[in-house]
Amino acid sequence: MNERLRSITIRGLMALAVGFVGANHARAQATAWPEKPVRIIVPTAAGGSIDVTARVIAAKLAEKWGKPVVIENRPGAAMRIGADAVAKSPPDGYTLLIAHDGTLAMNAVVYKNLPYDPRRDFEPLPLIATLPEVLMVNVKTPANSAVELIELAKRNPGQLNHASGGTATLLALELFKAMAGIDIKSVPYAGGAPAVNALIAGESETLIADVATAAAAL
C-alpha cells in the first residue's frame, strides 16, 4: 500500500455495466457492422477502474472487429456529462457507454433532473465486472480501523472530508454515515483516480473506492 495511505475494512460492491444507444438500429444494419471506428465514452477521468476496464475491453473489441475502438473520457458531474453525451449521440450503434451502477441506477435517485433517461436512452449489455469497495484513510489521519475512524468523526463532527469519485462512492459514504451516526463532508472529484490522488495528497482524510481504483495508489 502506498505509504501515504492506510486501508481499513468495509464491505461493498461496485458493478460495471456497458450499454449503447441505438441498439435496435444497429441490429437492423448489415452484418458487416462495424464499418467504421467505434467510440467508447468513459464518464470518468483517466486512471480509474472504469477507464482501465474500458481500455481492456476496447483492445479486445478492436481485435475481434478489425476496426479501431476509441476511448473518450468525459468526466465530471457524477458521470452525467459522459452519459448525456452518449444519450445524445447519433443512434447508429457506434457510440458505447461504459459505466457502473452509479451512472445508470443511483444517479436517477440522487438527481431530480437527469439530462438522460437510464431506461429509455440505453440498451444494457452483459455485466463486465463486480468489484469490492474499501475504506481508506490518509496516513496522517489518526485512525487504524473503521471503529477508530468513527470515533474520530464523532469527536470532530463535520470536520473530516471524504473524496467522492462519483455517486456510488457518495452513497456508500452516506450509508456509512447513517449506520455510524457521524457527519463527514463529501468533496466531489471527477472520478475515482482524482479522488485517490486527493486522498494521497492529504486534501481529504478518507475515501471509499473500489479495490481496482485503490490499487492504482499502490
Express each pLDDT in 117-174 by its tens digit. Answer: 888 888 887 778 777 888 999 999 999 999 999 999 999 999 999 999 888 888 889 9
What pLDDT is attached to residue 157?
A: 95
What pLDDT is attached to residue 8?
A: 41
pLDDT digits (tens, 9 = 90+) for 56-109: 989 999 999 999 999 999 998 888 999 999 989 888 888 899 888 888 888 888
Give the containing element (helix H, strand E) for 199: helix 192-201
Q: Cell digits for 169? A: 462512492
What pLDDT is attached to residue 111?
A: 85
pLDDT reading at 23 higher than 80: no
pLDDT reading at 4 higher than 70: no
pLDDT-derived band at 217, boundaries 50, 70, 90: low
pLDDT reading at 2 higher than 90: no
Considering only CA atoms, give the Rg of the chain.
19
pTM of this prediction exceeds 0.85: no
Name the residue ranges covered by the structural domains of the chain: 5-12+131-215, 13-129
pLDDT digits (tens, 9 = 90+) for 27-61: 545 567 899 999 999 998 888 778 888 899 899 99
Return the number of other C-beta atoms located less than 10 Å from residue 200's C-beta: 19
- Whether the Cβ atoms of residue 179 and residue 163 lie closer than 8 Å to each other: no
CA pair distance 187, 191, nearest whole angstrom: 12
CATH-assigned architecture of domain 5-12+131-215: 3-Layer(aba) Sandwich (3.40)
What pLDDT is attached to residue 47?
A: 82
Secondary structure in 3-state letters for 30-88:
CCCCCCCCEEEEECCCCCCHHHHHHHHHHHHHHHHHCCCEEEEECCCHHHHHHHHHHHC
Q: What is the DSSP letter of 28?
A: H
Asked if domains 5-12+131-215 and 13-129 share a fold, the reply is: yes
pLDDT digits (tens, 9 = 90+) for 180-213: 999 999 999 888 888 999 999 999 999 998 887 7
pLDDT reading at 15 higher than 70: no
What pLDDT is attached to residue 73?
A: 95
pLDDT reading at 10 higher than 90: no
What pLDDT is attached to residue 218?
A: 57
CA pair distance 137, 40, nearest whole angstrom: 33
What pLDDT is attached to residue 216?
A: 62
CA pair distance 160, 153, nearest whole angstrom: 7
Q: Which CATH class is domain 13-129?
A: alpha beta
